[in-house]
Amino acid sequence: MCNQIVVILLLSLTIFGVVWTIASDDLRVTLSNGSKLVGKYLRSNNGRPIKAFTRIPYAKPPLGRLRFKAPEPMEKWDGEYKAVNDGPMCTQRDPFVHSYVDEGSEDCLYLNVYVPHSFEGKLTELPVLTYFHGGGFVCGSGIRPKYGPDYFLDHDVILVTSNYRLGPIGFLSTEDANCPGNFGLKDQAMVLKWIQQNINRFGGDPENVTIFGASAGAASVTYLMMSPLAEGLFSKAIAMSGTHLAAWSQPAYEGVARKRATRLAKQFECYEPNNWIQSIDCLRNVSAKDITAAFYDFFEFDTDPMVAFSPVVEPDLPGAFITRHPRDGRTEKSLKIPFLTGVTYDEGLMKSLPIFNIPGLFDEFVRDLNFALSILFYYDHQDLSVQELITEQINEFYFSKNLSRNHFANVTNLISDGWFLGAMDSYLQMRLAHDDASSTYVYLLTHKATASFSELFNGGPETFYGVSHADEKLYFFPVREKLFPYAIPTKEDEEMRKSLVQLWVDFSRTGNPTPNSSHLPKWHETRDFPITYYRLGNLNFDGKPMFGTEKGGIFEERAKFWRVLEARIHSTKPQKDEF
């Protein structure tokens, strides 16, 4: 009897092996360099068939001598590569949830391609949406469990997600040719080059690539818009909750990155005065996890400065990602690219919640407000007298010089403005100053969903705090089931999810989020100040429709305050000795 079962099983395997071989032809792709892939079959949220190709290496593993260097293209491999598993995250720790867990691998330069499948013939010239994850340039990943294709692949688009190097591994810089920095951003540019070389083989249109990202991913989008390494590699851009002009994302002042590299090298007994070649070679022999964990030693107030190892202005050498500061108007290379950007209503919850809810942190915040604010908003490089003047202005505007626990909303607004609103406003000021700038669309996300990332930022599920930083991910990616399984979406949540995905898909197709085919109210371009913007949601459920155009600017009084204050914060070079 057992032998009969074995024979039947072998026959079944043989039969199904033939069926799999025939059916999997649509899951086979040959890349431009001759390398072969085989993917797997998935279903979208609405049950549409998807061809998924995951953990595709787009560059050589950045190990050994390739650590602290620009990525090198992946060479052709022999045989058929099974692109069916999730890749590892890049080496990281997550300070936003105050984690001390080391995760990921240094061998992490992989991307994922998700393609709609048609049973009636191969789809071609599909729009391509390329997502760069957030995480403050220190954590995050593009793997499917975090950024799956379920919602976007309800539509005829291709979604590409990817990893890039993070923390000191991705952004250490000596400010010279020995270790110029921006390796994580150079990884992103390599992703875009890979797409140009290969996406047509998946049915995508290399002439219709939209880059989009949130938080540090949004800052990355605006960096890519100015980098010569990415010029001509995409046609549209979406920056959600971030630009490269934020205090945490813009290049460090001259000398800061080099001082931090010196400090890191000393920490591992690698520093050799006047010999960066030897110092960097020594750091290449330190484990990636140890180097990654070391950035926690650079925190001065709670988990700030949020980005100790940030993008830098590189020497003007071949392969440089940027050689000018983003605030230099001459850096704008992408005025002809349609651009969409926006913020959430309560971005600052990501920091106000820890300040108020972690025991002792609010008292520390109040006890030395000048120190805390100068670290949070990166003006600790200024002379002490200038620091105190800036702090006094912030204290007067947000707290009337009487900060107390009753000012939770005020602290939230302060973080929202200093980290996100002001940066978006500054970028729009630069872009809209050009009469020949392409279409620009701005939004404010105000929808109250049953779930919120505020819970992960020390908020807890019992209280609704607002529309937090990162809450847009609820609508673009299937994160609810894993992160917020108790929060059943409402009818309005589902309407917001479907509509936001449609808006982004239409923008990727046409450069207009509400083309004539759209069922949503018209989203008008932003052309001048105060800005016209699109409201995504009805914050107070006061009878207004879920979507609509608003005029008069986003938090205009607060934006005006930061226009003046940012000029003072960024006015001088560093004075502070990091040692």
Q: Which of 80-89, 266-275, 365-374, 543-552 has the lowest mean pLDDT?
A: 543-552
Strands 339-344 and 440-445: what pairing? Answer: parallel
CATH topology of domain 350-569: Rossmann fold (3.40.50)
Confidence of residue 127 (pLDDT cuts 50, 70, 90): very high
Burial of 426 (0-12, 13-18, 19+ CB in 10 A): buried
pLDDT at 233 over 80: yes
Q: In terms of Cα–Cα distance, which of 493, 554, 137, 499 is closest to 347?
A: 554
pLDDT at 568 over 90: no
Instruction: Convert the pLDDT of each residue in 463-512 to its tens digit.
Output: 789 999 999 999 999 999 899 999 999 999 999 999 999 999 999 999 99
Q: What is the mean pLDDT of residues 349-373?
A: 97
For 1, the token pair is 């009897």
Q: What distance lies between CA 11 and its chain's CA centroid?
A: 49
Q: What is the mean pLDDT of residues 447-461?
A: 90
Confidence of residue 158 (pLDDT cuts 50, 70, 90): very high
* Exposure of 546 in the CB half-sphere (CA atoms within 13 A): 15
What is residue 9's predicted lDDT score, i.e. its pLDDT?
38
Q: What is the mean pLDDT of residues 101-128?
A: 92
The count of other CB atoms within 10 Å of the CB of residue 475 is: 24
Integer angstrom CA distances of residue 163 from 183, 236, 290, 457, 468: 12, 20, 20, 23, 24
Q: Contact 325/313 with Cβ under 8 angstroms?
A: yes
Backbone conformation region of residue 400, classed left if phi is above 0, alpha if psi is from -120 to 50, else beta:
left
For 192, the token pair is 């875009």
Task: Give bridge partners of residue 40 from the DSSP assignment.
Answer: 52
CATH topology of domain 31-334: Rossmann fold (3.40.50)
Q: Which of 141, 215, 249, 352 is catalytic?
A: 215
Measure the CA–CA gap between 563 and 540, rounded to whole angstroms.
29
Q: Any idea of the CA torsion for 493, 499, 504, 509, to the nearest 10 degrees?
A: 160
Confidence of residue 334 (pLDDT cuts 50, 70, 90): confident
- Dihedral sign computed on CA atoms, order 466, 468, 474, 479: negative
Q: Do the domains at 31-334 and 350-569 have one common CATH topology? A: yes
What is residue 106's predicted lDDT score, i.e. its pLDDT?
98
Residue-averaged pLDDT of the chain: 92
Measure the CA–CA gap between 103 and 80, rounded to whole angstroms.
29
Q: What is the mean pLDDT of residues 117-141?
A: 92
What is residue 332's predicted lDDT score, i.e. its pLDDT?
66
Q: What is the mean pLDDT of residues 228-248?
A: 97
Q: Contact 215/241 with Cβ under 8 angstroms?
A: yes
The residue ranking higher by pLDDT, 19 or 320, is 320
Is residue 469 flagged as an active site residue? Answer: yes
pLDDT at 107 over 70: yes
Is residue 215 flagged as an active site residue? Answer: yes
User: What percentage of residues in the chain have a pLDDT greater than 90?
Assistant: 85
Task: Give bridge partners of residue 212 from the DSSP assignment.
Answer: 131, 238
Q: Which of 325, 469, 566, 570 is catalytic?
A: 469
pLDDT at 18 over 50: no
What is residue 575's predicted lDDT score, i.e. its pLDDT?
42
Q: Where are the beta strands (DSSP E) in 327-370?
A: 339-344
pLDDT at 265 over 70: yes
Q: What is the mean pLDDT of residues 394-404?
A: 97
Nearest-10 crossing angle of helices 369-376, 384-399: 90
Confidence of residue 128 (pLDDT cuts 50, 70, 90): very high
pTM over cut 0.85: yes
Confidence of residue 62 (pLDDT cuts 50, 70, 90): very high
Angle value at C-alpha 108, between 107 and 114, nearest 5 degrees: 145
Domain boundaries, the chain: 1-28, 31-334, 350-569
pLDDT at 1 over 60: no
Q: Which of 175, 347, 455, 472 is catalytic?
A: 347
